[in-house]
Amino acid sequence: MKKSVEIPDCHYPTEPMLVPPSSPTPNQRLYLSNLDEQRFLRFSIKYLYVFRKAIPIDRLRTSLSDLLVHYYPLAGRLCPSTGTGTTNDRLEVDCNGQGAVMVEAFTGIGADELAESWSRPNKSWRKLLYRVDASTIPLVVQVTHLTCGGMILCTAINHCLCDGIGTSQFLQAWAHATAKPMSDPQIGPFHDRTMLKPRKPPQINFAHPEFGANSSNGSHPSSPSLSLNQFLLSQTLTPISLTFTSSHILHLKKQCTPSIKCTTFEMLAVYVWRAWAKSLELPSTLQIKLLFSVNVRNKLNPNLPQGYYGNGFVLGCAETPVDQLLTSGPYYGIRLVQLAKQSLHDSYVRSVIDLLEEKRSMPDMSASLVISAWSRLGLEELDFGLGKPVYMGPLTSEIYCVFAPVVGDSGAINVIMSVPEGVAERFEQYCIKGFEEREEKDEIEGVNGGERYREIAV
């Protein structure tokens, strides 16, 4: 396991600046759908980019200001909804043009030093993003200059305004505006979220196990005396980062054929879910869940318009007793994930929206692994005019799992999450174990399998 590097304190030569739109924008309130302003989304998605060459801060500020003319809600402020018939805890966006927050910083470290461990974030990495009241400010940016002449770009985008696809769309538009000034976004943003309003009266026509309501398999309910999530949050956590290369993923997929055909996400999600459950040594009869975000833009009738950057996803939910997940072959878990994805049609999504209107439900985290897939959003392709990043990932490692892209290998995935210190080594070993047969075969054939074996446990 590679060590993690402590980031030196950042020096801020100037105070944080507000970056308003460069020309007047609509002064209005933006409705947020029930998918947008869920309680569990009231945080900022924090991305970290490392670039070998730094873009001048004035150039970044100018292009951001120009782009905010198009993405003007990100220059506004989140506030309680003033709509009639709404509860006090609903949110909307006051599109007042106050501006995003941008800050410039310097730190005494170079990209090569960071390269030793940038896939293993620690608490000191939080210095790379200026702290502001993220509950009201939709967009915060910190540009940190490195001693090598490169830069770290950290962005915090409030999840209530954008999902992963939306954040990627915005960041790609910003990079395009910086590299090619005076050009309009390649994909224009679509702001209106009223097409996701709940029905009147609400119609909750499906069981929603992702929220813990009417579990689809009542024969193995989660034990009320055990909240795995509470236990995990009470532990000292350590970050884990496993790099699955294209060849690793191909090998795992071959293990599933001809029994079942699957996507990379389906296969890897189940692989990590099984390793997670096994390493935590969960009770064999405990009902556990895998929660994962599914883009529903093209599953709704009508489809969400091109450029829709709000939250256009719902949670898929696969659930099973621990013993059945671990004693069955991988195809069992993969089939559960596939069935969960297939259920997310228009009527189901509308039922989710109506459920959130009636009950303001939270996802069932009592015994769940949550996976957020960033690996196919094009986040690693960001180019502000001086080259693509050498690293892209989350700012910090959280208890939920992120599938992050790997720069330079479009078929590879970084699996990043935090687990209790006492199970970290066990979790890594269970992930590695699936390759042991292949490595032994390679050594017999004269291939240096050890190096490839260790690459998985970075």
**To which H or E segment does residue 48 belong?**
strand 44-51
In the β-sheet with 28-31, what is the strand arrangement from edge to edge?
28-31, 91-95, 77-80
Peptide bond preceding 258: is omega within 30 degrees of 0, i.e. cis? yes
Answer yes or no: 345 catalytic: no
Q: Which two tokens stand for residue 438?
A: 């292949």
Which of the following is catalytic: 36, 70, 94, 159?
159
Catalytic residue among 184, 323, 383, 409: 383
Q: Are 159 and 42 in contact (CB under 8 A)?
A: yes
* Pick from 417, 435, 436, 437: nearest CA to 427: 417
State both tokens at 351: 């039922």
Q: Is 383 a catalytic residue?
A: yes
Which residues, in sequence order, are bridge partners of residue 287? 321
Number of other CB atoms surrounding residue 396 within 10 Å? 18
Interstrand relation of 100-106 and 17-19 (parallel, antiparallel or unpaired)? antiparallel
Neighbour tally for 118: CB within 10 Å: 21
What's the chain's length in residues?
458
* Look-up of token digits 């060459």: 53
Give the residue numbers annotated as catalytic, written as ranges: 159, 383
